[in-house]
Amino acid sequence: MAVIQCQFYSEAINLSMGIHVIIPQNAAIQASGSAKLPVLYLLHGLSADHTDWIRHSFIERYAENKGIVVVMPSVGRSYYTDMKYGSPYFTFLSEELPEIVRALFPVSERREDTFVAGMSMGGYGALKLALSFPERYAAAASLSGGLDIVSRMNGANNFQPHELIAIFGDVAELKGSTNDLFYLLDKLKAYDGDKPMLYQCCGTEDFLYADNQTFRKYALDLGIEVTYDEGPGEHDWDYWDPQIQRVLDWLPIG
């Protein structure tokens, strides 16, 4: 198992950025030469960074067992957006980061080998990526995701008022925008190509449980299949660590 802390300059953000990358050593050796490994982009939550999954879960061991590269970027408290008054983190994540990762590490460029997942804010980011670019991702998973972003911004949330303005500008314009997952579900419904597999889970004691129920019902009403799991659990690592194992088992890793 190789765990790499990588620093590089981001042209999109105009800043040195850090990522953690897990490379399963045995799989990398077996795939040496022209073969490439599947890759999971694993996203952090609101008050975390790219070290969170390494520090709080056993993702290293799980990745080794599955033979998958795991890339963990950091986007601050941007909610995986091109901020209205700030940096274009979604452009960084969706455009620049994959190019850098493919240039530096032995990961596949094929859609069938490319996946994204995340917890809390990262669950939103994972689904946003896959719904925005269904041609790039074979599967996406949300663990306790903050998915009903319009309701969150207009009600209880973990942001300071100035953060909302910096991220989204006029929150009244959020509904029906490219930051609205429900709008992106509508677009996916009309998409003619292969649709990504979607996975969603949330603990029944989680403060985001109602948001997850709303998202699931909307997807089902559109006829979009979502693999769904719920059970006892709160918004914490006691829930997320077992769930990421289930996500890895669910991913269509060849």
Residue 164 pLDDT: 84
pLDDT band at 63 (very low <50, low <70, confident <90, very high): very high
Q: How buried is residue 194: exposed, middle or buried, by Cβ count under 10 Å (0-12/13-18/19+)?
A: exposed
Element (H, E) at 126: helix 121-132
> Once rounded to an integer, what is the mean pLDDT over residues 103-119?
96
Mapped onto helix, strand or coil, the DSSP state of residue 95 is helix
Average pLDDT score over residue span 91-95? 98
Instruction: Return the minimum-mean-pLDDT range out of 39-43, 138-142, 155-159, 243-247.
Output: 155-159
Please report which confidence band the pLDDT of residue 180 belongs to, taking 50, 70 and 90 as the band edges: very high
Task: For residues 81-104, give the mean pLDDT.
Answer: 97
Averaged pLDDT, 88-101: 98
pLDDT at 154 over 90: no
Burial 44-79 (b: 16+ CB within 10 A, else e): bbbebbbebbbebbebbebbbebbbbbbbbbbebbb
pLDDT tens readout for residues 159-174: 777 888 899 888 888 9
Instruction: Tell me what percent of the residues of the chain surpass a pLDDT of 70.
Output: 95
Band the pLDDT of 156: cuts 50, 70, 90: low
- 219, pLDDT greater than 90: yes
Rounded Cα gap, residues 152 and 157, in angstroms: 5
pLDDT at 20: 97
Domains detected in the chain: 2-250 (3.40.50.1820)
The reported pTM is 0.96
Per-residue model confidence (pLDDT) at position 34: 64
39 band by pLDDT with thresholds 50, 70 and 90: very high
Average pLDDT, the chain: 94
Mean pLDDT, range 119-123, rounded to an integer: 97
Q: How confident is the model at residue 151 (pLDDT cuts 50, 70, 90)?
A: confident
Q: What is the dihedral of CA 130, 241, 150, 76, to 10 degrees?
A: -80
